[in-house]
Structure 1
Amino acid sequence: MAGSGATVSSGLGKTLMPVPDPHPDVFNREWPLRVGDIDREGRLRFDAACRHIQDIGSDHLRELGFEQTHPLWIVRRTMVDLIRPIEFQDMLRLRRWCSGTSNRWCEMRVRIDGRKGGLMESEAFWININRETQGPARISDDFLEGLRRTTEVDRLRWKAYLKAGSREDAAEIRPYPVRVSDIDLFDHMNNSVYWTVIEDHLQSHPELLAAPLRVTIEHDAPVALNDKLEILTHVYPAGSTEMFGLELSDRAVTTLTYAVGDEVKAVAALFAI
């Protein structure tokens, strides 16, 4: 991260693990960037990138042979860095590997490269779910053994990086209708749909795309079809952002709180890196 000059391994300003390439346990796929994934300028959108991150996760799980024994996962946090825009008609190269494990969850890195030099980096905190109880479930020893081949972190803990903003001091509050097509197998709004909120915000604030950008979303509770979802915007100027970590005190941070009434469903943060 810029600013502090020090490497940060945790928190909102963390340094993402570099790809261990070449490595036999880095999962590698390529496919073309298509018209349904781009904005009006031809840039790979955040929501489309996160669909690709989900898709390569499913492909990776199938390749490892654990699609039947570990079929259900939920994402608690996704961090995406837009380093250089990936543009229309490029070919995407996605590489996925594990950057941290525990008995019931893991962090998975996905690097998306375009052949023309575009780059997006991501890390997601995934929780293995028991089909019957719908709660966290232990990952099998043989699955963990494979995941740990690319990381030395085997005591991964959950710690929230973000706090919700209040209605009282929000810079903006706007409704965000939930559509039938937003709902997935869990009867909740799909993870990638949360990132359409980010794209809407960037449409109104294109200056955020002038430099490399980090966007992080943490999920607190699911959004259902009939929920009256609202987005609460807060903008924290540079010098007032120590709450996000000292390494971010030199830059502005925007947060978007996904709320249904008084219940917080998710929180996002955007800032230049």
Structure 2
Amino acid sequence: MAEARVGLRTADDSKSSWAVKGAGTPSFEAKYRVRGSDVTPDLTLRFDSVARFLQDVATDDLAASSFGSTDPYWIVRRTIIDVLEPIAWPGAVSLERWCSGLSTRWANMRVRIVEMPEINAFNPAPRRPGVIETESFWINVNVSGFPARISDEGFRHLSVGAPEERLRWQSMNSGAPAEQPSVDALQEREHVIRATDFDPFGHVNNSAYWAVVEDELTEHPDIRTGPHRAVIEYLKPVTPDSRIMLRRRRVSDRLSLWLLVNDTVVATVVVTKG
């Protein structure tokens, strides 16, 4: 059975906190192929690929809804990705999406991703189906990009079965540490933005931020040896003339990343193992 979670407060909250989705809660389902371009060299699905699936199912869900014309613009403020069992190539994935909480201007949207594994010459051994649980905090905006009230029809649709109708934003990640050296700090580095990272609004697409995470995890492969969680919070848009600097810290099973432009934090990421 698909599940839903509400009331999260920190990036280290237990992954067992996914509660059962109500039987009367409407959901949208879609299936997509996992391609070779979606995976790491060890054939597991990358975080940026998960983010693209989440964008695709959100777009398809909105197009099929009764409020796609009245509430066409949404931006994501936070995405939580719990890799419970890794998804690999080749195969397909089934996504189920529903609302787990909302207010008049934003909504938490849950997506459960379940793999339908296949085999080929690159990955011939049978494997268990992968499972990834996600939740994203979406803000309804107007054509100028400012938060706007969800339409009556949109609120009616999203609130059916949602356990929370007074959802409030509360950050799960901590603010950036000072730049001074510390035992657990890693050297600050630049992340180079590519022309392909930008969306039709002229901002770095939310899935492109995950390339930073993938780069960092090559130096911390142990985090992915079992179940792991990643939480990204988007704080400010990044434009083509920006220079992103990355501040990093590893403490035990927790990797924290802060993306800065002109010393202002534009996004935060926490990846935890276990």
Aligned to 2:108: 107
CA distance in 1, matches of 2:164, 2:98: 13
In structure 1, the gaps of 5 or more residues are 1-6, 238-251
Instruction: Answer yes or no: is 1:149 the counterpart of 2:160.
Output: yes
Summarize the Cα distance change of 1:173–1:18 in structure 2 as closer, same or farther, 3 Å threshold: farther
Using the aligned pairs only, state the percent identity.
Answer: 35
Per the TM alignment, residue 24 of structure 1 is displaced from its structure 2 partner at its CA by: 6.6
Deviations 1:146-190 (A, max 9, x none): 111231200000011112233224322111111111011221100
CA distance in 1, matches of 2:244, 2:6: 34
Instruction: Answer yes or no: is 1:11 the counterpart of 2:9.
Output: yes
Question: Within 5 A, what are the aligned runs for 1:122-133?
Answer: 122-132=134-144
Aligned to 1:225: 240
TM-score relative to the length of structure 2: 0.87
Runs (4 or more) in structure 1 with deviation over 3 Å come to 16-20
Residues matched between the structures, number: 251
Aligned to 1:179: 194
Preserved contact between residue 6 and residue 100 of structure 2 (Cα < 8 Å) = no
Question: Within 5 A, what are the aligned runs for 1:1-273?
Answer: 9-12=7-10, 13=13, 15-20=17-22, 25-116=26-117, 117-132=129-144, 134-162=145-173, 163-169=175-181, 170-237=185-252, 252-273=253-274
Summarize the Cα distance change of 1:85–1:60 in structure 2 as closer, same or farther, 3 Å threshold: same
Aligned to 2:123: none
Q: Secondary structure at the match of 1:75?
A: strand
Q: Secondary structure at the match of 1:171?
A: strand
Deviations 1:122-166 (A, max 9, x none): 00000000114x210000111111111231200000011112233
TM-score relative to the length of structure 1: 0.87
In structure 2, the gaps of 5 or more residues are 118-128
Please report the RMSD computed on the Cα atoms of aligned residues, expressed in angstroms.
Answer: 1.7
CA distance in 2, matches of 1:8, 1:42: 32
Supply the AA of the counterpart residue of 2:18: L
